[in-house]
Amino acid sequence: MIQSLLFILVAGVSGWFAWKGFSRVWRNIQLGKPEKISGNTSQRWRNVLLVAMGQQKMFKNWLPAVLHLFIYVAFVITQVELIEIFVDGIFGTHRFFAPYLGAFYTFVISSIEVLSVLAFVATIIFLSRRNLLRIARFQKPEMKGFPSRDANLILLGEIILITGIFCMNGGDKVLQARGVEHYHLTGDFAVSTWLGPLLFGGMSNGAVVIIERFGWWLHIFTVFGFICYLPYSKHLHIILAFPNTWYARLTAKGHMENMPEIQLEVRIMMGLPPLTPADGGESAPDGNPSGELPEFGANDVFSLSWHNILQAYSCTECGRCTAACPANITGKKLSPRKVMMDVRDRAEEVGAAIASGRQAVAAYDDGKSLFDRITPEELHACTTCNACVEACPVLINPLDIILQMRRHEILTQSAGPAEWLPMFNAIENAGAAWAMSEPREAWRDA
């Protein structure tokens, strides 16, 4: 009875903290402006199943993909045992499903143990890659401090979770073999049937019961801790990867969204009639009665869409985008991963100020913007090659945010690199990228 009450208390407190964390993330995503997303539903389900669940894009580099798959599958399958732990914790039972499932129960737990061993091996390799081999993409400036600790904490948590599983199952098998009351037979598990007696076989029944209960509580405390920590970690992607791949754009990688206002001005400048929606054009907004200049692009989370912020929270911080970026490879400051991390951190900063009551959403102004985190030097280095978009394993599009910020810098702030300005002036005045003394169509009329 005491164990059941304690379990319910711990579960309730953990659930409350987790709810607060996930609610915060949801509120921050909603800071972005509305974006209507539609398209081929079957293709969206295909993205969810193949990319989010099947990790299709991970397998462009097979070694880390296979190791990641071990951890991912072990995490998913272990939830079956977690369901039983919840039932046992609430009702005070022990291995509730074993009598009902029989040999199938033995098979399921054995599968979890084999996958746990593989996950343990993968975890050790991942820790080595980050801390001993020091893979280049994990050593970029944006990974200093918390991002690096975050990755190591989760990997260490995985080791603790596996330790709990084998203490629980190993102690259980020793107690079953000795016929201790309450520990009924469950068949031979793949690993703990021999590992339990090897480690705990020389101990007294009381000591083994303590080890088994320690493993049980260690397992559930690690799970509860992970759930509470998840909203603050890059590992939130294990949840958000699914909606992110669903909402991913289905247009070609090189496709850039037009700005209806600019599209209209360019067509008028070139003597062409405005495109109608029937022709594939977009209707420009109504006139600006206030006389103020319109805002183009994005300079803060409020002018990005909710989808952009969702992508920032879905970022795995794996660095594949930065490793593939030609600008970063040649030593320039741009890192697509940092762009996504900066957007997420800015959303956290803004969300915290609003939640504390220091600022109101409608009139938010703390004197800062995304340009305080993402410098013009980074934005100008982008070649819009889409290498980062192609490399992302969960279909995040850093290029979209870069383009929106560049548009704001050039069209709203009237800023930008000095070497770009002659080209802009030539396009505006002559309709061509090169300054010409004659009209562009003169060759045709000669």
Separation between Cα atoms, residue 383 and residue 387, nearest integer Å? 9
Which tokens belong to 366? 């703390």
Angle between helices 146-177 and 192-200 in degrees, nearest 10:
90
Q: Which residues are paired to 33 by β-bridges?
A: 305
pLDDT of residue 293: 63
Which candidate, 7, 184, 183, 165, places its Cα nearest to that of 89? 7
Predicted model pTM: 0.89
Question: What DSSP string describes 126-171?
Answer: HHHHHHTS--GGGSSGGGTTHHHHHHHHHHHHHHHHHHHHHHHHHH
pLDDT of residue 86: 92
What does the chain come to in residues?
446
Position 306 pLDDT exceeds 70: yes
What are 108-167's pLDDT values in tens digits?
A: 999 999 999 999 999 999 999 999 999 999 999 999 999 999 999 999 999 999 999 999
Which candidate, 216, 110, 111, places its Cα nearest to that of 165? 216
From first CA to last CA, the distance across the chain in angstroms is 97
The fold of the 298-360+370-415 domain, in CATH, is Fumarate Reductase Iron-sulfur Protein; Chain B, domain 2 (1.10.1060)
Q: Could you tell me what percent of the chain has a pLDDT over 70?
A: 94
Which candidate, 3, 4, 12, 6, places its Cα nearest to that of 224? 12
Position 395 pLDDT exceeds 80: yes
**419 CB contacts (<8 Å, ≥6 apart)?**
none
Q: 71-85, 189-203, 225-239, 362-376 — which is least confidently predicted?
A: 71-85
Q: Give domain limits for the chain.
A: 2-30+61-233, 298-360+370-415
Position 341 pLDDT exceeds 90: yes
Which candidate, 154, 233, 220, places its Cα nearest to that of 13? 220
What are 198-240's pLDDT values in tens digits?
A: 999 999 999 999 999 999 999 999 999 999 999 999 999 999 9
Position 277 pLDDT exceeds 80: no
CB 395 within 8 A of CB 324: no
